[in-house]
Amino acid sequence: MNWITKIIKAGEKIKTAIRERSTKADIANSDWTSCCRGPILKKDLEANLWVCPDCNKHHYISPTNRFNLMFGKDGWKKIESPHPPPDPYKWVDTKKYIDRLKDAKKITGQDNAILSCEAKINNIDVVVSAVDFKFIGGSISMAEGENVLAAVQTALNKKCPYIFVSASGGMRMMTNILSLMQMTRMTVGINALREQNLPYIVVATSPTTGGLTASIASLSDICIGETGATWAFAGRRIVENTEKSQLPENFQTVEWAKDKGGQIDLICDRKDIHPTIGTLLSILLKKNSDISTEENETSENSQSLTREAS
């Protein structure tokens, strides 16, 4: 066998290997996914809230699944929002933007990257928005901005807290300046909540990056990081090239941000996020009888100490 024949046979093997590789659709429809120990059944992950029982990696979940986990399938009501023109610039790169939108809607079952709902936590009315990273990287454009503003307006009307679950690559540049404008528009909405003294809580899930981090994800009264989540603005390689230094392995995680940057207030495993928010809201809104009792006892003790000091 001469060298030409060997090259031809090697090329045929490569072609066969490429053809046999699983497509994204195959992976999505498979009963298996991968984690630290290799293949793991999706049903086993789902039973553990999509968290690996061995390494505690928090696998991605959609807004619908997150709402179902937090509130039950019948425990939340979707908030509708306006539908602005989808493709004002008629954008085309390697693919038409309008076709990307159609694919994203088909994959996620959502009209845009954000799903908002009305629900209850500890019998306290709340409005919650969550970003679906599978919708064009969770990027934010006009429809997403309208969704957030509709959710904020609902919270203002109900005079209840607003919770934002972030998972985004930033602003959607296919819509250019109209996308960047949403940073300001959403910030105005959050400021309206603040003027009414309504709590605003952010749950930072992976990844929270770009323009979302630079706007409403960083404006919360309390920011909860989901264990292991990415929290950043620019990409790691960009920062390394700028700083000309090797960054820590846990750089741009919520754990690092909590310890070094102070942007994250606490870290929670997925199973603890719902009860933690419930406790926080009970304290902030004074709507829990146990907490009210503790406050009264603390007040009485303080008065007693004051009398003794006198």
* Residue pLDDT, tens place only, 135-183: 999 999 999 999 999 999 999 999 999 999 999 999 999 999 999 999 9
Cβ neighbours of residue 8 closer than 8 Å, sequence gap 6 or more: none
Q: Is residue 191 assigned to a domain?
A: yes
What is the mean pLDDT of the segment spanning 262-279? 95
> What is the per-residue pLDDT across 274-305, written as a single tens digit (0 to 9) for each?
999 999 999 999 986 555 544 444 444 444 43
Cα separation of 133 and 143, whole Å? 15
The C-alpha R_g of the chain, in whole angstroms, comes to 23
Q: Do 42 and 129 lie in a common domain?
A: no
Mark whether 150 and 84 lie in a shared domain. Answer: yes
Residue 36 reports pLDDT greater than 70: yes
Instruction: Examine the fold and report which residue of 45, 60, 75 is the final residue of a domain before the chain moves on.
Output: 60
Widest distance between CA atoms in the chain: 104
Its pTM stands at: 0.84
In this structure, is residue 22 part of a structural domain?
A: no
* 187 and 43 within one domain: no
Residues 111 and 41 in one domain: no
pLDDT band at 6 (very low <50, low <70, confident <90, very high): low
* pLDDT for the residue numbered 55: 92
Whether 94 and 46 share a structural domain: no
The answer to the question of residue 306 being in a domain is no
Which of 249, 254, 212 is closest to 231 using CA atoms? 254
Residues 51, 94: one domain?
no
- Same domain for 97 and 44, yes or no, is no
Query: Which of 60, 77, 103 finishes a domain?
Result: 60
Q: Is residue 16 part of a domain?
A: no
Reduce the DSSP state of residue 114 to 3 states and report it: strand
Q: Indicate whether 92 belongs to any domain.
A: yes
Do 44 and 129 reside in the same domain of the chain? Answer: no
Residue 54 sits at the vertex; the CA angle it makes with 51 and 55, to the nearest 5 degrees, is 75
Looking at the structure, tell me whether residues 55 and 118 fall in a common domain.
no
Q: Is residue 303 part of a domain?
A: no
Same domain, 51 and 66: no
pLDDT for residue 308? 43
The residue among 227, 232, 225 whose CA lies nearest residue 251 is: 232
Number of domains observed in the structure of the chain: 2
Mean pLDDT of 98-104: 97
Q: Tell the residue number behind the tokens 């809607």, with chain if given.
A: 105
Regarding whether 110 and 56 lie in a shared domain, the answer is: no
Range of the domain at 274: 62-286
Q: Per the domain annotation, does 15 fall within a domain?
A: no
pLDDT range class, residue 4, cuts 50, 70, 90: low
Per the domain annotation, does 310 fall within a domain?
A: no
Residues 172 and 114: beta-carbon distance below 8 Å: no
Count other C-beta atoms under 10 Å from residue 53's C-beta.
13
One domain for residues 52 and 90: no
Answer for the pair 230, 253: CB distance below 8 angstroms, yes or no: yes
CATH label of the domain that carries residue 192: 3.90.226.10
- Note the pLDDT tens digit of each residue in 42-100: 898 989 999 999 899 999 999 999 999 999 999 999 999 999 999 999 999 999 999 99
At residue 157, the 3 state secondary structure works out as helix
Above pLDDT 90, what percent of the chain? 69
**What pLDDT band is residue 238 in, cutting at 50, 70 and 90?**
confident
Provide the 10 A C-beta neighbour count for residue 18.
8
The per-residue pLDDT for 271 is: 96
pLDDT exceeds cutoff 60 at 310: no
Across the chain, mean pLDDT equals 88
Model pLDDT, residue 304: 45
Instruction: Look at 247 and 310; give whichever has higher pLDDT.
Output: 247
Q: What is the pLDDT of residue 237?
A: 81
